[in-house]
Amino acid sequence: MRIGVIGAGNMGTAMGTIWAAKGHQILFSFTNGSMRLQKALAAAGVNGRSGTPAEAVAFGEVVLLAVPWAAVGEALKAAGLLKSKVLFSCVNCLKPDFSGLAVGTTTSAAEEIARAAPDARVVEALPPMAEVLAAAHHRLAGQQISTFYCGDDAEAKAIVAGMLRDLDLEPIDAGPLTSARYIEPNGMLQVQLAYRMGLGSRIGIKLLRG
Amino acid sequence: MRIGVIGAGNMGTAMGTIWAAKGHQILFSFTNGSMRLQKALAAAGVNGRSGTPAEAVAFGEVVLLAVPWAAVGEALKAAGLLKSKVLFSCVNCLKPDFSGLAVGTTTSAAEEIARAAPDARVVEALPPMAEVLAAAHHRLAGQQISTFYCGDDAEAKAIVAGMLRDLDLEPIDAGPLTSARYIEPNGMLQVQLAYRMGLGSRIGIKLLRG
**Chain B residues with beta carbon closer than 8 angstroms to that of A62:** 159-160, 163
Contact between chains at A89 and B182 (C-beta distance less than 8 A): no
pLDDT digits (tens, 9 = 90+) for B64-86: 999 999 999 999 999 999 988 99
Nearest to A105 among B104, B179, B209 (CB): B104
Residues 63-92 of A with CB under 8 A from B: 63, 65, 69, 72-73, 76, 79, 81-92
Mean pLDDT value across chain B: 95
A188 touches chain B (CB under 8 A): yes
Residues of A in contact with B187 (CB under 8 A): 92
Is B184 an interface residue toward A (CB < 8 Å)?
yes
Q: Do A186 and A126 contact (CB within 8 A), yes or no?
A: yes
Q: Is pLDDT above 90 for A83? A: no
Distances (CA, A) of A158 to A161, A167, B5, B33, B58: 5, 15, 18, 32, 21
In which band, very low, low, confident or very high, does the pLDDT at B40 lie, cut at 50, 70 and 90? very high
DSSP symbols for A95-139: -TTSSSBSSSB---HHHHHHHHSTTSEEEEE--S-HHHHHSS---
Q: Is the pLDDT of residue B169 over 90?
A: yes
Cα dist from B90 to A44, A111, A125, B5, B130, whole Å? 47, 12, 5, 11, 32
pLDDT tens for each residue of A16-27: 999 999 999 999
ipTM exceeds 0.95, yes or no = no
Would you call B93 and A108 a contact, using CB atoms and an 8 Å cutoff? yes
A100 closest CB neighbour out of B73, B155, B188? B188
pLDDT over 90 (residue A104) = no
**Dist. CA B81–CA A99, nearest whole Å:** 33
Helix (H) or strand (E) holding B181: helix B180-191
For A27-71, how does the pLDDT look when each residue is reduced to its tens digit (9 = 90+)? 999 998 889 999 999 999 999 999 999 999 999 999 999 999 999
Query: How does pLDDT run across A163-190, given as a tens digit for each residue?
Result: 999 999 999 999 999 999 999 999 999 9
Asked if the C-beta of A58 comes within 8 angstroms of chain B's C-beta atoms, the answer is: no
Can you tell me the mean pLDDT for A6-20? 95
Quick check: A141 and B209 CB within 8 A?
Answer: yes
